[in-house]
Every structure is written in structure tokens, then in C-alpha cells.
Structure 1
Amino acid sequence: MAEATSTSFDPPGSGEATPSPRKTELLERAYQYALQHGVANISLRPLASAIGSSPRVLLYLFGSKDGLVRALLARARAEELRLLEQLRAERGAEHTGLAVVVERIWDWLAAEDRRGLLSLWVEGYARSLIDPEGPWAGFAEDTVDDWLKLLAEHQPAGERDTAEAKTRRTEALAVLRGALLDLLATGDRARVTAAVHAWTSR
């Protein structure tokens, strides 16, 4: 399995000098804006107006509109990585098994206050496939690697590298992503959650 590598979607500040407080503040405001409006068709002027800045300042701080989009996707990925770290901390020294971790992940994904974040993930994921040369290039692959790595950690150490174990965690990820798309499209949390639990009980 491929390990997650350092990319332009690493959490803000993880591979560069500490950003200025002003840049951090504006990125957080822009991220909250993106949760409501998305990033694919983001326009600097209305964004700057909404967050109390100007297009000139945003271009100075982020280099370009593409640089800002990358920073926003990195901020979204930071939320994902925070969840992964929480799950690792809960796991402790022993693996918990795919069924348990899939249910924990789904409980987090299906929470009412996650819709904006999940829509942003899906948008970045889809655009990275449609426009591989754009600012979202590599976003989908990075997120797949993040989740597969975590799922592997919840399998017995002696079995993780077997073909069967790789297939099983790939299937688990497919179930989670499919359920997520269904939930975003229909809002039918009860039905989709029942389907996820049916898979984990197999």
C-alpha cells in the first residue's frame, strides 16, 4: 500500500515556515466561506468582501488564486487527519478491527454538522480527477492513501500485507465513500447507516 506522502495538501504550516497570524486568520475565514460556497468556482472579490479582506491581500498572502485553493484543500485535509489521529489514539496498542473503525468513522462522517466539510471533500476529490493539472491535482489520491493507511493499522499486524487484507480494507473504504455520497445526495441517514452496519456485521 502506498504511504501518504508530503504534498501541497499537507496541513498548513507542516512543510513551511510558520504562517503569519494574519494569513492564518484569513485562511480560517476563507475556509468557513468555502464550507458554504465550495471552491470550484470561488471568486476572489466576493470571498475577500465576505471575510474582511481584499483580492490584493489574498493574492499577496497565497501567491495566486490556485495557491488559495490549495490552502483551502489542505485545511480540509487537516480536518481529515485530525480524525485519523483521534482514531489512532483510541486504538492504543492493539488493533480494533475494520468493523469497529468503519463504524466509528461513519459516526463521525454522518454527524449533522459535517455536511459542509464532506461536500468540500467530494468537490476537491471530483475536481482532482476531472482537472489533474489544476490546483486540486493529487487531492483524491492523497485522501485515499490517508484512509487506507488508517484502515491497515486496524488490521492484525501479521495480516496487513496479504492480498486478502488489502482487498478487505479497500472494500471498507469503498463502502464508506459510497455511503457518504448517498448521504449527501439523499440526506437519508437512517437508511445509509443501516447499510454501513450491515456491511460491518458480515
Structure 2
Amino acid sequence: MARPLDHQKRADLLAGVVAYIAGHGLAALSLRPLAAELGTSSRMLIYYFGTKEELLVQALATQRPDLTALFVDVVEPEALCDRLVGFFDLNSEGAEADSVRVLLQVLGAACAPDSPYQDYANAAIATFVTELAAALRRTGLAEDPEVVATLLVSALRGIIQDRMITGDRERTTRAARTLIAAVLPTRPR
């Protein structure tokens, strides 16, 4: 008889996966070193998660920001701009930076044909675009909210990636703020 899953152990393992990948990278991810770092065995990781890819997807799911909560109360253009600036800051160097570093690697891997990360990547992008488009509709800042949301999501992701690669905080901060102000002008120019 198979023993039941230890849900606390599973949660503890997921908590360590994102930090490990942020520090070691996704490209060379191997279960044995990951398991050793997490204080378990590769056999136990397979027992809990099935595959290496499923382990990563589940770990990222625990890190996904609540985008509905981020934008649900936004009805004023200035508030939307402030939320996007705050989101950029939090995700480029704040508390969420490790999760975003791993997410960027997963999004890159999802570009490969038959990627095991394709569904996760599609859902992550669609959720952000959908929630931002809803906020854009409420604020009246965009005639085509889905297109503007796509532009902002994709461009901010690129600027965050630029910062993580180059380490240039000043330039990328200016770029993010310039993008938000240009795409979402809250005052007449």
C-alpha cells in the first residue's frame, strides 16, 4: 500500500525549488543536485511531482502573484500607472525577483517545439494580459485594452530581463517609467 503524500513536506520542497533554480539556472537543472540541496532524494521528488518539469511548474504556481488582486480596485488612470511602476519595482529587484528570474527562463524554454512548459507559459501570459486589460477598460485609458495590455506586459518583461542580464538599474528604471508614461498618458501632453 502506497503511503499518503506528506503535504507539508511537499510544500517545503516547492518553497526551495524556485530559489535553487534562480541561483543555478534552468538549463542545467538536474534532479540529483536539486534533491541534495533540498535535503531529499531524486526518487522522492519524482514521487511527489512526477517529472522535473512538473516540479518546476508547481513551484512556479506557488509563486504566481495574484494579478486579480493587484488590479481589481483600479479605476483611476494614475492608480494604474502607480500599480505598474510598483509591480515593475517589486519584480525587477524586490521580493519577487527570484521568481521572475525563473519565470523568464521558463518562458524562454516554452518557445521550443513541444516544450513541457508551454501550457504554464500561456496561462501566465494570458492571466496578466487579461487582468491588465480589465483595469485598462475600467480606467478608459485604451481603445483596444488587450493590445495595450500585451504591449505593456511584453515590454515590461523585456525591461526586467534586460535588468537581470545587465544589472543596469538606472537605465532600466527610466525605461520602464518612460514606457508606462508613453503608453498610458494620464495627463495631456
Contact 1:124 1:136 in 2 (8 A): yes
Partner residue in 1 for 2:90: 108
**1:33 aligned onto 2:20:** yes
After superposition, residues 72-87 of structure 1 pair within 5 angstroms as 72-75=59-62, 79-82=63-66, 84-87=67-70
Q: 1:153 aligns with which of 121, 125, 134?
A: 134
Q: Which runs of 5+ in 1 are unaligned?
A: 1-17
Task: Measure, in 2, the Cα distance between the counterparts of 1:63 and 1:152.
Answer: 35
Contact 2:13 2:38 in 1 (8 A): yes
Match of 2:137, SS? coil
Equivalent residue letter for 2:70: L
* Cα offsets for 1:153-183 (capped at 9, x unmatched): 2223495995x33332222223212211211
Task: Measure, in 2, the Cα distance between the counterparts of 1:33 and 1:147.
Answer: 25
Task: Measure, in 1, the Cα distance between the counterparts of 2:164 and 2:84.
Answer: 18
Match of 1:138, SS? helix
Task: Measure, in 2, the Cα distance between the counterparts of 1:161 and 1:187.
Answer: 32
Equivalent residue letter for 2:111: L
Contact 1:35 1:117 in 2 (8 A): yes
Q: How many residues align?
A: 176
Partner residue in 1 for 2:50: 63
Contact 1:151 1:169 in 2 (8 A): yes
Contact 1:102 1:172 in 2 (8 A): no
TM-score, scaled to structure 2:
0.78
Task: Measure, in 2, the Cα distance between the counterparts of 1:23 and 1:115.
Answer: 23
Q: 1:172 aligns with which of 152, 159, 176?
A: 152
Match of 2:13, SS? helix
- Greater relative CO, 1 or 2 (CA 8 Å, sep 6+): 1
Computed over aligned residues only, the root mean square deviation of the Cα atoms, in angstroms, reads 2.6
Aligned-residue offset at 1:53: 0.6
Task: Measure, in 1, the Cα distance between the counterparts of 2:175 and 2:16.
Answer: 36
TM-score, scaled to structure 1:
0.74
